[in-house]
Chains A and B, each alone.
Chain A
Amino acid sequence: MKSLKNMWAVVLVLVTILALGSGVVAAKDTIIIAQGADAKTLDPYNTTDAPAGRVMSVIFDTLLTRDDDGNVAPGLAESWEIVDDTTYIFHLRKGVKFHNGEEFKASDVAFSFAQIAKSPHAVSVRATIDFENSRVIDDYTFEMKMTEPFGPILNHLGHQVMSIVNEKAYTEAGEAVGQNPVGTGPYKFVSWATGDRIDLVANEEYWGTKPSIKNLVYRNIPESASRTIEVETGGIDISIDIQPSELKRLEANKNVKVFRREASTISFLGFNASKAPFDNPKVRQAINMAINRDAIYNVVFQRVGTMATAPMSRVVWAYNDALVPYEYNIEKAKALLAEAGFPNGLELTISCDQNQERLDTAEMAQAMLSQIGIKVNIETLERGAYIDKVIGGELEMFGLGWASDTGDPDYALFALFHSSMHGAGGNMGFYTNEKVDELLEIGRSSTDAEVRRNAYLEAQALIWEDVPYIFLHCPENVVVYNAKIQGFGVYDDGQLKVENFHF
């Protein structure tokens, strides 16, 4: 009798283990995504941080989106009318529910627009939207006014900072709004263990393709090597931010698949033109000429992505493919530097955050510039302090990148090179060229594609010649995922099409 009891106990234990075990192994209703940093906040108006953006992209929707070809597509707005250059009318989707059960109405759009109007992170995205005169026509119709015509505005409406929130939930959350996101997206927020993971659950009432994976987890794994190992061993299903050095190994692994696509980002070493001697184009050109960009492309980026051949990524339309590649010539660079008034070289500081690629780039630049008599100090700063100093114009040279999230040349060029955007606006090099300003304004205000294209082509040529930054590299979006995931796809802006994934 006793042994029978024991046996039952053993069986019970075995069953439990099996149940638990299969729960872990075969629980294919969960996808774990790992990225290199935790989200800063899940309040869409309070950050443009990429890790936060990835999480928010599945929680929130925007009025419009982009299809695979980069064309504007319906989002929460089913259709839209362009009444004139400064008036747009959006017909909203009916029967859409927020995660808290509230119905999506035009008043939510108005409320969201009011937040966007206040957000310091939305400056370049909201462009010339006239928030005062935009209005609700009825529950499912919203009219957006512009203070000035702005060609690419429909592209901008798909940006993450233009997410639509629920008025009631957003107001009720108060200060804690960054921890309580309520949107209309395919996944609902469940919990957030700061620094570790964010748990989401499928939104059964989603208006679009209903997600077939029930649980979605975003984990924060800062170490690139650990992320790679985890995805190889199946501990996580999807890994984002992959170091180029890991790619070869991953591509040879049959258990994982690698998604690669040219990104809209350009990375560069910037000059602060508000400080002498970097206000002198000759100094910038001399430094640029002494940088062996080919070597940086090979060593730092390990030939993943492309070398920069224009001031913006070639995936952005109106990219100028006719620019003359920069020459690498030590002797000419020395002569140019002497001509600029520095025959004996100079001393400068390259600053960067703790991003390894930027650090490596700075170290290579240090060695290269020593050949033309420039002594380079390298300074690493904590990321927050670093960005503050960059936009405050306190640094001399700095490594950064710029992502053209909207896929439009206005986003790629205006903030970065227009003189009205100095500092916090995005022109971190404090670059000024009146002709470039003029061309960028034409590109921004015209709605004629041909006029815009010509303006941007010419602007790129002028910028390329002025060397406001040392344009280095256009990286790739690299996502590594478990080969068992079916229906894998990535949106035009780099976000995952999570709602299509299944096992």
Chain B
Amino acid sequence: MLKRNKKTKKGFWHDAWYRLRKNKSAMFALFILGLLVICAIFADYIAPYPYSLQDYNHTFEFPSRKHLLGTDNFGRDILSRIIHGSRISLLVGFSSITTAIIFGGLLGAVSGFYGGKVDNALMRAMDILMAIPGMLLAISLAAALKPGLTNLVIAIAIADIPGYARVVRAAVLTIKEQEYIEASQCIGASDGRIIFKHILPNCLAPIIVQATLGMAGAILSASALSFLGLGIQPPTPEWGSMLSSARQYIRSYWHMTAFPGLAIMITIFALNILGDGLRDALDPRLKN
């Protein structure tokens, strides 16, 4: 019995991967994201110049063989800054979503599993958080907490928590009525064991989809906050702040805004495509 159960479970992920592989655009997106991760990890080796190297004799240079994407107002190489910027974007996107999933997932699981007053209290708290526009909440938090990497992550994560709490709660509500949950309750398994061992693993599919799409949102929020001067502090390059400081030169030096903008766009695009692909692949309704 136990063995067969394991097999079907493995089969589900296997099937999903198979379906995802057939989706060409999702695979392309995955490839782009893979490249991005490599860029982020090996930024120091890939980037042609140090990201903070200012060369006052070569400011505002248009793309050339020496500087593939040109230089900015301080004569810094834009390609190197974009490569290093991917590090921040991915880091912020990944860590804020992970934080949001941990807290949102826990809250959702607890409230879905116990129901009643606990559920009511937790969900109403989430409703209140959700009633505040996410960006506005992130801006106020970032402004109150002082700008910086950690606070940026916290600000974005808090704004994202209710979304995950709701997704997980909905999944838990359906799963907890399943017979195998009843069975484990009968053999005296603790609530914690049931939630972590049996319920949460089965909610994974919707969480993964939500997380992929959410990461795109988080990266965008990070860029927006940095654009407003509430995010990463100089000289660390961040795509949003690169855009922000380049915008005053937009009419004379298009390359300063175009490339960081493209970097943001491509990343968000890839994450969204992959998210859509994952949803198609993981949605049980499409299974047959």
Q: Do A and B bind each other?
A: yes
Tell me if B174 counts as interface (CB < 8 A to partner A).
no
Closest to B56 in A: A295
Assess the A379–B233 pair: CB atoms within 8 A.
yes
Tell me if B184 counts as interface (CB < 8 A to partner A).
no
Interface string of B200-241 (1 = CB under 8 A from A): 000000000000000000000000000001000111000000
Chain B nearest CB: distance from A291 CB in Å?
13
Residue with the highest number of chain A CB atoms closer than 10 Å, among B59, B73, B234, B235: B234
Assess the A382–B143 pair: CB atoms within 8 A.
yes
A10 CA to B158 CA, complexed, in Å: 59
Closest to B236 in A: A378
Classify the interface of chain B: helix, strand, loop or mixed: loop
Known interface pairs A245-B252, A378-B233. Does A356 touch B52 (Cβ–Cβ under 8 Å)?
no
A245 CA to B56 CA, complexed, in Å: 16
Tell me if A360 counts as interface (CB < 8 A to partner B).
yes
Closest to A353 in B: B229
Known interface pairs A249-B252, A378-B234. Does A299 touch B247 (Cβ–Cβ under 8 Å)?
no
Assess the A354–B252 pair: CB atoms within 8 A.
no
- B230-263, CB < 8 A from A: 233-235, 245, 247-252
For A295, list chain B residues within 8 Å (CB).
Answer: 56
Closest to B247 in A: A225
Tell me if B147 counts as interface (CB < 8 A to partner A).
yes
For A228, list chain B residues within 8 Å (CB).
Answer: 251
Assess the B248–A245 pair: CB atoms within 8 A.
yes
Interface size range of chain A in the complex: 20 to 34
Known interface pairs A359-B245, A380-B229. Does A299 touch B73 (Cβ–Cβ under 8 Å)?
yes
Known interface pairs A299-B73, A367-B52. Does A249 touch B251 (Cβ–Cβ under 8 Å)?
yes
- B18-71, CB < 8 A from A: 52-54, 56, 59
A249 CA to B253 CA, complexed, in Å: 12
Tell me if B180 counts as interface (CB < 8 A to partner A).
no
- A234-273, CB < 8 A from B: 243, 245-246, 248-249
Which 8 pairs across A and B sit closest by C-beta, in order of nearness?
A295-B56, A367-B54, A363-B234, A380-B229, A354-B229, A378-B234, A243-B248, A378-B233
Chain A nearest CB: distance from B106 CB in Å?
34
A229 CA to B252 CA, complexed, in Å: 12
Interface string of B112-153 (1 = CB under 8 A from A): 000000000000000000000000000000010011000000
Q: Please pick, from B56, B234, B248, the residue contacting A299 in the complex, using a CB distance under 8 A.
A: B56
A366 CA to B59 CA, complexed, in Å: 17
Tell me if A364 counts as interface (CB < 8 A to partner B).
yes
A246 CA to B248 CA, complexed, in Å: 9
Assess the A245–B235 pair: CB atoms within 8 A.
no
Assess the A224–B248 pair: CB atoms within 8 A.
yes
Tell me if B74 counts as interface (CB < 8 A to partner A).
yes
For A379, list chain B residues within 8 Å (CB).
Answer: 146-147, 233
Chain B nearest CB: distance from A409 CB in Å?
33
Tell me if A362 counts as interface (CB < 8 A to partner B).
yes
Assess the B229–A225 pair: CB atoms within 8 A.
no
Chain A nearest CB: distance from B249 CB in Å?
6
Q: Please pick, from B53, B56, B234, B250, the residue contacting A359 in the complex, using a CB distance under 8 A.
A: B234
A245 CA to B250 CA, complexed, in Å: 10
Known interface pairs A225-B250, A359-B234, A363-B234. Does A298 touch B56 (Cβ–Cβ under 8 Å)?
yes
Chain A nearest CB: distance from B263 CB in Å?
20
- A334-380, CB < 8 A from B: 354, 356, 359-360, 362-364, 366-367, 377-380
Assess the A364–B54 pair: CB atoms within 8 A.
yes
Q: Please pick, from B54, B56, B234, B247, the residue contacting A362 in the complex, using a CB distance under 8 A.
A: B234
A194 CA to B247 CA, complexed, in Å: 25
Closest to B244 in A: A356
